[in-house]
Amino acid sequence: MTIRHFLDLSDAGAAAIAAMLADAAARKTARAALPKGAVDPDRPLAGRTLAMIFEKNSTRTRVSFDMAMRQLGGTTLILDAGTTQLGRGETVADTARVLSRMVDAIMIRTDDHAKIVEMARHATVPVINGLTDASHPCQIMADMQTVIERRGSLAGSKWAWFGDGNNVLHSIIEAGSLMGFDVWWACPDGYKPSEEVVATARQRVLGTPNADSITEALGWEAAAEEADVIVTDTWISMGQKHAEEKLAAMMPYQVTEAVMAAAKPNATFLHCLPAHRGEEVVDAVIDGPQSAIWDEAENRLHAQKSVLLWCFGKL
Ligand code: CP
Ligand code: NVA
């Protein structure tokens, strides 16, 4: 069987993503009364081990994958890249070959997307993207699960992004083009999403009823208008320098109560976290009644379980 890597959402495709989201919801409901450390009764990943490599900090990704493997009956190893030979220059390819002999899957968070592509090329076990400079597909699985919980479905919804055209936005654009929802972004000049990511998404929807679904907004008002989902992220991602001029350029795109007022009355606010309150979002929004951030964070666990099950051929 072909190895199921999860480097981006398109590696799985729409049908598998829908199956993963359904499974995540079902498992979440089924174990609602269980303690968090209890194993799901079917133990689908018993005997399996996931190695997690972190070249950048993490709270949610690290804990969600660790707990996901435990709940599925498997185990994890956490490798801080700085204390492995990878951190001393052993190649990604050799690391992939060695880990493939000892563990059943690899999750990696790294600065350079090319490294996970290289890892997947040489690994003989599934490789999962735990965030790169280019994308964050696991996060968007949790975001989609959260939107389905709040709104019932993804299809036809309008998601509006504010601020930096970063890795998280790239995965939202990809998700919209795969799953049939509209993505609008309002980003200042110099900080737009990758043209390649936008072009690929537009190509995917070309000739379909969703042909106009991937849209750069002219101003934040156009993005917010009729939006079902308002979403933002830090203005300075990991590995980027703190730059006053970038913060100044972002300020008009801050998610404020005015942005929420311009969206649909029951619009959902999302943020992958960690947040920089008073920068990309004000307290009144992130702590307000439309904010779904704690469900979104919890859903990292449920969504990651389904990503793992898909990678292991169980979905
Ligand atoms: N949202 C997210 O990926 O969080 P962490 O950086 O804490 O993993
Ligand atoms: N864009 C952020 C996401 C953190 C989860 C970063 O890359 O740092």
pLDDT tens digits, one per residue of 69-79: 999 999 999 99
Q: pLDDT at residue 288 above 80?
A: yes
Distance between start and end Cα atoms, the chain:
14
Of 205, 165, 171, 202, the C-alpha closest to 186 is 165
Rounded to the nearest integer, the mean pLDDT of the chain is 97
String of DSSP letters for 75-137: EEEEEEGGGSGGGGT--HHHHHHHHHHH-SEEEEE-S-HHHHHHHHHH-SS-EEES--SS--H
| Residues of the chain above pLDDT 90, percent | 97
**Residue 98: Cβ within 10 Å count:** 14
Of 65, 47, 93, the C-alpha closest to 6 is 65
pLDDT tens digits, one per residue of 15-63: 999 999 999 999 999 999 999 999 999 999 999 999 999 999 999 999 9
In sequence order, the β-bridge partners of residue 215 are 184
Q: Is the beta carbon of 167 within 6 A of some atom in ligand 2?
A: yes
Q: How confident is the model at residue 257 (pLDDT cuts 50, 70, 90)?
A: very high
Taking the centre of ligand 2 as the mean of its atom positions, its distance from the CA of residue 284, in whole angstroms, is: 22
Instruction: Kindly state the average pLDDT of the residues 270-277.
Output: 98
Q: What is the pTM of this model?
A: 0.98
Q: Do the beta carbons of residue 21 and residue 315 sit within 8 Å?
A: no
Between the alpha carbon of residue 4 and those of residues 9, 59, 145, 153, 270, the distances in Å are: 12, 25, 21, 26, 29
Q: What amino acid is encoded at 107 in this protein?
A: M
pLDDT at 81: 83
In sequence order, the β-bridge partners of residue 185 are 161, 216
Closest residue by CA, ligand 1 atom 2: 60
Q: pLDDT at residue 1 above 80?
A: no
In the chain, which ranges are continuous DSSP H helix?
A: 9-12, 14-30, 60-71, 92-102, 113-122, 137-151, 167-179, 195-205, 220-224, 244-250, 257-262, 283-286, 293-311
pLDDT at 82: 86
pLDDT tens digits, one per residue of 218-229: 999 999 999 999
Q: Is the beta carbon of 273 within 6 A of some atom in ligand 1?
A: yes
User: What CA–CA distance (Å, rounded) separates 227 from 231?
Assistant: 10
pLDDT tens digits, one per residue of 198-256: 999 999 999 999 999 999 999 999 999 999 999 999 999 999 988 999 999 999 999 99
pLDDT at 291: 98
Instruction: Kindly state the average pLDDT of the residues 273-280.
Output: 98
Q: Is the beta carbon of 107 within 6 A of some atom in ligand 1?
A: no
Residue of 162, 238, 240, 271 best suited for mutating to test ligand 2, as the one with most atoms within 8 Å of CB: 238
pLDDT tens digits, one per residue of 96-131: 999 999 999 999 999 999 999 999 999 999 999 999
pLDDT at 113: 98
213 Cβ partners below 8 Å, 6+ apart? 176, 177, 180, 181, 182, 183, 205
Q: pLDDT at residue 181 above 90?
A: yes
String of DSSP letters for 193-223: PPHHHHHHHHHHHTTSTTTT-EEE-SSHHHH
**Residue 41: Cβ within 10 Å count:** 10
Taking the centre of ligand 2 as the mean of its atom positions, its distance from the CA of residue 141, in whole angstroms, is: 15
pLDDT at 242: 85
Instruction: Kindly state the average pLDDT of the residues 61-70.
Output: 98
274 prior amide bond cis, ω within 30: yes
